[in-house]
């Protein structure tokens, strides 16, 4: 439940930092051992910048927990991934299918079915923590006041710029810059998640995407780390995209965010001591597709189960063993990344038969 108390209690069994899918799933599992405090730096309900699409793995995962409310599914309900080479007018639809949801409602729904032994505090920041053989002491800041709260295990589920990971001394992973425009739709778009490669935006540009979301369309662009003036580059991509998508009306909102840029197996870290890292905080995200929701829910739930079924000092080892295959999956995908990002890779993709592109995409 969302906690009405003005401050956290002095002690919990588990503290989870970050109230997104990874944090919600970690709390869902860990509460089987004892009371959980779930804290979120943003006010709740939070507003996460995201395309809001659930792949088949995320859908299968959720089917084992609870049915998704129909109200959060947008029109069109499903979109298929389509590779678009903008300069050569090549479009290759694939069999990779996503459920099209409202991301804000999705996050809020995940929190709604947490049991009463999970207390949720929004607008609460992690200042730091210390750990020893007896547990973890976490310093939290809420309404300008700092509180020292103890727990047996701490879970970092606080995303690409994880404060838990930094405080753990593991260093940050580099991040992409992402910008999303919400455009009024003046007509129907085809039911695709269009992933668009352009060559005239500059070397800092990775790709753009267009997704219909009910009465609006999300038009996003992803830029490599340390990109300068990304808003101007987004203006350029919007001008170009509107030439081929006349249905895109005025921009009603633009939001900026960051996304993890996993570059090496060393970026994936399950944690240290009594601290577990899940989702993007632990480097768990597809380096080739940028998909992170299924990784977040999977690693969050796995961490929660490891805490619930292990002694506090042994939870990390259990979690690391259970997620080893996920790290191996990310390592495999990293081998594709240099080719996919190269100009040659993007050029050759235009000559690959569409069924082959579909099979390759479904594995990324």
Count CB neighbours of 182 within 10 A: 17
Least confident of 4-8, 41-45, 141-145: 4-8
Higher pLDDT residue, 362 or 339? 339
Whether 20 has a pLDDT exceeding 90, the answer reads yes
Reported as a single tens digit per residue, the pLDDT across 56-75 is 989 998 888 888 888 899 99
Q: What is the pTM assigned to this prediction?
A: 0.94
Reported as a single tens digit per residue, the pLDDT across 213-252 is 999 999 999 999 989 999 999 999 999 999 989 999 999 9
- Strand 271-272, strand 248-260: pairing: unpaired
Alpha helices in 130-223 (DSSP H): 163-168
Whether 12 has a pLDDT exceeding 70, the answer reads yes
Mean pLDDT over residues 112-127, rounded? 94
Assign domain 14-48+106-173+263-336 to its CATH architecture. 3-Layer(bba) Sandwich (3.50)
Calculate the CA dihedral of residues 169, 227, 255, 120 and round it to 10 degrees: 0
Whether 2 has a pLDDT exceeding 60, the answer reads no
**CA 150 vs CA 15, 110, 181: distances in Å:** 8, 25, 42
Q: What share of the chain has pLDDT > 90, as a percent?
A: 75
CB 269 within 8 A of CB 170: yes
State the chain's mean pLDDT as an integer. 92
pLDDT of residue 279: 97
Domain map (residue ranges) of the chain: 14-48+106-173+263-336
Whether 364 has a pLDDT exceeding 80, the answer reads no
Nearest Cα to 282, choosing from 187, 192, 162, 185? 162
CB 164 within 8 A of CB 26: no
Count CB neighbours of 135 within 10 A: 18
Reported as a single tens digit per residue, the pLDDT across 173-214 is 899 999 999 999 999 999 999 999 998 888 899 999 999 999
Measured distance between the N- and C-terminal CA atoms of the chain, rounded to whole angstroms? 36
pLDDT of residue 303: 98
**CA 142 vs CA 54, 75, 138, 275: distances in Å:** 33, 38, 13, 22
- Strand 36-39, strand 118-121: pairing: parallel
Whether 357 has a pLDDT exceeding 80, the answer reads no
Order of strands across the sheet with 145-151? 124-132, 135-142, 145-151
Whether 253 has a pLDDT exceeding 70, the answer reads yes
**CA 268 vs CA 128, 201, 222, 280: distances in Å:** 21, 31, 21, 9
Whether 3 has a pLDDT exceeding 70, the answer reads no
Nearest Cα to 126, choosing from 148, 103, 105, 107? 148
Reported as a single tens digit per residue, the pLDDT across 291-323 is 899 999 999 999 999 999 999 999 999 999 999
Q: What share of the chain has pLDDT > 70, as a percent?
A: 96
For residue 45, say if its preceding peptide bond is cis, omega within 30 degrees of 0.
yes
CB 225 within 8 A of CB 161: no
For residue 76, say if its preceding peptide bond is cis, omega within 30 degrees of 0.
yes
Q: Report residue 299: phi and psi, to 5°.
A: -70, -35
pLDDT of residue 51: 85
CB 270 within 8 A of CB 306: no
Separation between Cα atoms, residue 157 and residue 137, nearest integer Å: 17
- Would you list the DSSP string of 171-195? -PPPEEEEEEEEEEESSPPPSEEEE
């Amino acid at each position: 439940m969302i906690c009405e108390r003005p401050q956290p209690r002095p002690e919990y069994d588990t503290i989870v930092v970050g109230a997104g899918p990874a944090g919600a799933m970690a709390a869902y599992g860990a509460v089987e051992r004892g009371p959980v405090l779930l804290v979120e730096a943003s006010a709740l309900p939070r507003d996460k910048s995201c395309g809001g699409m659930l792949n088949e793995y995320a859908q299968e995962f959720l089917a084992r927990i609870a049915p998704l409310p129909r109200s959060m599914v947008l029109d069109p309900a499903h979109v298929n991934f389509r590779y678009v080479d903008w300069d050569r007018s090549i479009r290759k639809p694939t069999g990779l299918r996503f459920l099209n949801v409202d991301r804000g409602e999705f996050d809020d729904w995940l929190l709604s079915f947490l049991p009463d032994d999970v207390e949720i505090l929004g607008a609460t920041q992690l200042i730091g923590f210390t750990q020893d053989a007896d547990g973890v002491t976490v310093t939290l800041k809420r309404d300008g006041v700092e509180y020292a709260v103890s727990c047996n295990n701490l879970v970092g589920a606080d995303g690409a710029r994880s404060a838990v990971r930094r405080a753990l001394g593991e260093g940050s992973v580099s991040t992409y810059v992402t910008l999303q425009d919400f455009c009024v739709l003046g007509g129907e778009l085809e039911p695709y998640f269009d992933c668009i490669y352009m060559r005239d935006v500059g070397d800092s540009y990775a790709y753009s995407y267009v997704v219909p979301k009910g009465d609006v369309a999300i038009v996003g662009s992803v830029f490599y780390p340390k990109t300068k003036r990304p808003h101007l580059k987004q203006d350029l991509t919007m001008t170009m995209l509107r030439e081929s998508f006349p249905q895109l009306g005025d921009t009603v909102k633009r939001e900026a965010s960051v996304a993890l840029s996993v570059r090496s197996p060393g970026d994936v870290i399950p944690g240290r001591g009594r601290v577990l890292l899940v989702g993007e905080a632990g480097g768990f995200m597809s380096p080739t597709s940028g998909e992170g929701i299924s990784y977040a829910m999977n690693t969050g739930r796995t961490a929660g189960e490891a805490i619930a079924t292990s002694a506090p000092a042994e939870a990390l080892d259990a979690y690391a063993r259970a997620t080893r295959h996920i790290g191996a999956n990310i390592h495999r995908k990293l081998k594709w990344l240099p080719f996919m990002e190269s100009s040659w890779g993007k050029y050759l993709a235009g000559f690959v038969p569409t069924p082959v592109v579909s099979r390759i995409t479904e594995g990324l």
